[in-house]
């Protein structure tokens, strides 16, 4: 250690000043670049996390809306059978049935696109959309077979289509459950990645702070040694051959 200090003291004052300034400049640049990199990475990851969280929330909402509107569609079908003897009510609930059917199809197709964008695998989704379309056709065929709707024909139609919606209801419920499971998994993965990044930044920060502390200590020692030598020169001592050149 003393040998290293002796070698350092043999360096001219001008060079020592240049070394100190250069070291502090390098540390400042490194710290600045590191700070900019951390800010850029944090901003990018935050933007990505917010965007993905919104997509996941929208996907869950869309799945729930498909589920809710399908149940409303089934309810409108029941309203047709229960109140369809009245022409005005028949027309009202028939239109409502078609409107709910259209909404379910729109939500299922939108859900397919959202799931694809997130890279999720929900194999039941395509089958559910096709099954829903077929179900609406079967409802209409059953209704067309009995143009005149009364209590007797309504009971007969209900008997023919009873339970036909149950399988699709279970399918849509399963889709919603799958999407929620995938959403929870993705959010946990995002949290894990964020924690890993934070740990890496923390370790790198400790290293940067160590370099800064070492640079400050070196600069202080350099300033002290220079001041000491300059004081010796002013007191009339013989200048050190390693002085200012």
Indicate whether 72 belongs to any domain.
yes
pLDDT reading at 3 higher than 60: no
Q: How far apart are CA 3 and CA 8, in angstroms?
A: 9
176-235 pLDDT, tens digit each:
998 988 888 888 887 777 777 777 777 777 777 777 777 777 777 777 777 777 676 555
Burial class (CB in 10 A: 0-12, 13-18, 19+), 19: middle
Nearest Cα residue to 65 out of 92, 105, 96 = 105
pLDDT band at 93 (very low <50, low <70, confident <90, very high): very high
Question: Do the beta carbons of residue 128 and residue 175 sit within 8 Å?
Answer: yes
pLDDT digits (tens, 9 = 90+) for 150-160: 778 888 888 88
Residue predicted with more confidence, 6 or 51: 51
Range of the domain at 209: 12-234
Determine, yes or no, domain membership for 127.
yes
Cβ neighbour number for residue 117 with a 10 Å cutoff: 11
- Output the pLDDT for position 53: 82
**pTM for the whole thing?**
0.65
What's the number of domains the chain is made of? 1
Is there a domain that residue 90 lies in?
yes
Q: CA separation (Å) from 13 to 85, 224, 230, 231, 239?
A: 107, 12, 9, 13, 11
**Six-digit token pair at 64?**
């729930």
Report the chain's terminal Cα–Cα distance, integer Å: 26
At residue 67 the predicted structure's pLDDT band, cuts being 50, 70 and 90, is very high
CB-based contact 113:163 (threshold 8 Å): no
Measured between alpha carbons, how far is residue 241 from residues 5, 30, 176, 229, 238 in Å?
16, 35, 83, 11, 9
Q: Is the pLDDT of residue 121 over 60?
A: yes
Q: At which residue do the structure tokens 């047709």 appear?
A: 80
pLDDT the model gives residue 10: 62
Q: What value does the mean pLDDT take over residues 10-27?
A: 72
pLDDT at 244 over 70: no
**Tokens found for residue 38:** 């951390």
Per-residue pLDDT for 56 more than 60?
Answer: yes
The pLDDT-based confidence of 35 (bands split at 50, 70, 90) is confident
Q: What is the 3-state secondary structure (H, E, C) of 139-156?
A: HHHHHHCCCCCCHHHHHH
> Could you tell me if residue 6 is inside a domain?
no
For the chain, how many residues are written? Answer: 245
Flag whether pLDDT at 163 surpasses 50. Answer: yes
Which has the higher per-residue pLDDT, 203 or 135? 135
Q: How far does CA 209 lie from the centroid of its chain? A: 31
């Amino acid at each position: 250690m003393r040998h290293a200090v002796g070698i350092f003291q043999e360096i001219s004052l001008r060079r020592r000043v240049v070394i100190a300034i250069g070291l502090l400049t390098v540390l400042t640049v490194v710290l600045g670049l590191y700070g900019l990199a951390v800010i850029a990475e944090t901003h990018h990851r935050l933007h990505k996390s917010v965007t993905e969280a919104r997509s996941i929330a929208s996907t869950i909402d869309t799945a729930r809306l498909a589920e809710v509107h399908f149940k409303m569609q089934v309810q409108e079908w029941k309203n047709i059978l229960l109140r369809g003897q009245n022409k005005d009510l028949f027309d009202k609930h028939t239109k409502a049935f078609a409107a709910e059917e259209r909404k379910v199809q729109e939500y299922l197709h939108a859900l397919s696109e959202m799931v694809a964008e997130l890279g999720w695998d929900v194999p039941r989704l395509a089958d559910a959309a096709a099954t829903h379309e077929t179900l609406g056709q079967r409802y209409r065929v059953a209704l067309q077979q009995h143009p005149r709707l009364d209590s007797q024909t309504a009971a007969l139609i209900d008997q023919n289509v009873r339970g036909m919606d149950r399988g699709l209801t279970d399918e849509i419920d399963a889709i919603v459950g799958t999407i929620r499971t995938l959403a929870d998994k993705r959010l946990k993965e995002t949290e894990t990645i964020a924690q890993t990044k934070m740990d890496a930044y923390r370790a790198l920060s400790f290293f940067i702070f160590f370099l800064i502390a070492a640079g400050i200590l070196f600069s202080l020692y350099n300033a002290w040694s220079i001041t000491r030598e300059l004081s010796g020169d002013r007191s009339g001592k013989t200048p050190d051959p390693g002085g200012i050149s």
